[in-house]
Structure formats: C-alpha cells, structure tokens
Amino acid sequence: MTRRELREHCFKMLFCADFYPAEETRQQLECYFELSQEDETTPEGILNILHQARFDEEDHRYLLQKSEAVTAKLPELDSRINEVAQGWKTKRMGKVDLTILRLALFEMLYDQEIPEKVAINEAVELAKKFGQKESPAFINGVLARLVSAQGTS
C-alpha cells in the first residue's frame, strides 16, 4: 500500500474515532479493520463501494500505531493549532479539517521520514478529497502559520 493510501486510511480511522469518548479510541480504531467494505446503492441501482479495507499485517500494525500515536498527542496538537488558527479554535472547526490538521501536524513534528512540505501537500490533497470547497486553502494557511510560528522544520 502506498504512503498516500496509508495516510488516507489513517485519516479515516482518526476521523471515525473522534466521534467516540477517548476511552473507546482503541476499540474504534480496531473496528476500522473489521468493516472490510462499506457500500451504497444509487437510486439507479448501481453499487458504489465507499470503503474497502484490505490490509496486510504490516499495514495494519502501521496504521494502528500511527493512529494511536496521533491520538495520544491530541491535547498538544490542538493547543498548537489553537495558537495560530485565528478565529477558528479547534472546538469550532469541522471534524474533517481538524482531523487533517492534526494528522499533518503530527507528521511535521514527530515523523522524521516525512518532510514538512510533503506533510503539508498531502494534507491539502486530503482536504480536496474530503473537505469542503474552502478546506484546502484553510488547511494550507493554518499549516503555513504553524511552520512560521513553531519553527517545526
């Protein structure tokens, strides 16, 4: 599985887990792997596969470890985001944008294998795919301010 695919799955896992109490995080992350396929049927009768998860043991382990690592750092990540997101504290942000910001900031701060610019670019791509029209610009702006304010490079 490519890094981009892994990142997208990690985003989905974090997004889903955010709807549950913190003490259920591990259980919710594991549920992601149990639901191997999610689909819907259009009014025209066409089956669309929305989510299909097939992971080898290495990908499963990587995703679980990374998702848990991000979750463990949420208070710090949210605090840093709140410092620079003018007029948009994390409590007011949509869950898609917030999850993308958390994941990108985690990669920028703690994943030495991912260059800062790559983390930002990938976050913008996730925002294009899952966010609203304004999400890519919002995500890029907040992450750029984080780079300037925190000196995370």
What is the C-alpha end-to-end distance of the chain, expressed in Å?
Answer: 27
Tell me, what DSSP letter sits at residue 90? G
Q: What is the overall mean pLDDT for the chain?
A: 89
Provide the β-strand partners of residue 40: 48
pLDDT band at 152 (very low <50, low <70, confident <90, very high): very low
5 within 8 A of 21, measured Cβ to Cβ: no
Containing 48, the helix (H) or strand (E) segment is strand 47-52
* pLDDT at 41 exceeding the cut of 90: no
* pLDDT at 153 exceeding the cut of 60: no
> Three-class SS of residue 88?
coil
Most confident of 20-29, 35-44, 72-81, 144-153: 72-81
* pLDDT at 52 exceeding the cut of 90: no
Residue 70 burial (CB count, 10 A): 23
94 within 8 A of 132, measured Cβ to Cβ: yes
* pLDDT at 44 exceeding the cut of 80: yes
Tell me, what DSSP letter sits at residue 104? H
37 within 8 A of 49, measured Cβ to Cβ: yes
Residues 6+ apart with CB under 8 A from 83: 149
pLDDT cut 90: percent of the chain above it: 62
